[in-house]
Amino acid sequence: MNVVWSPTALGKLDEIYNTIASERDIATATKWFLKINDAVDNLADFPLCGPRVPESAFEDHFTDFVGLRQLVVKPYRVVYEATDTACNILGVMRASRLIGISNLGAV
Structure confidence by residue, pLDDT tens digits, 33-68: 999 999 999 999 999 999 998 877 887 665 566 679
Q: What is the pTM of this model?
A: 0.90
Residue 104's pLDDT band (cuts 50, 70, 90): confident
Query: Between the CA of residue 105 and those of 29, 45, 65, 88, what are the distances in Å?
Result: 23, 23, 12, 10
Residue 20 maps to which CATH number?
3.30.2310.20
Task: Note whether 80 and 68 are within 8 A (CB).
Answer: yes
Q: How many domains does the chain have?
A: 1
Task: Note whether 39 and 79 are within 8 A (CB).
Answer: no
Q: Which residues pair with 93 in a beta bridge?
A: 77
Average pLDDT value over all residues in the chain:
91
Residue span of the structural domain in which 73 resides = 2-103
Q: What local confidence, expressed as pLDDT, does residue 61 receive?
A: 62
Omega before 54 within 30 of 0, i.e. cis:
no
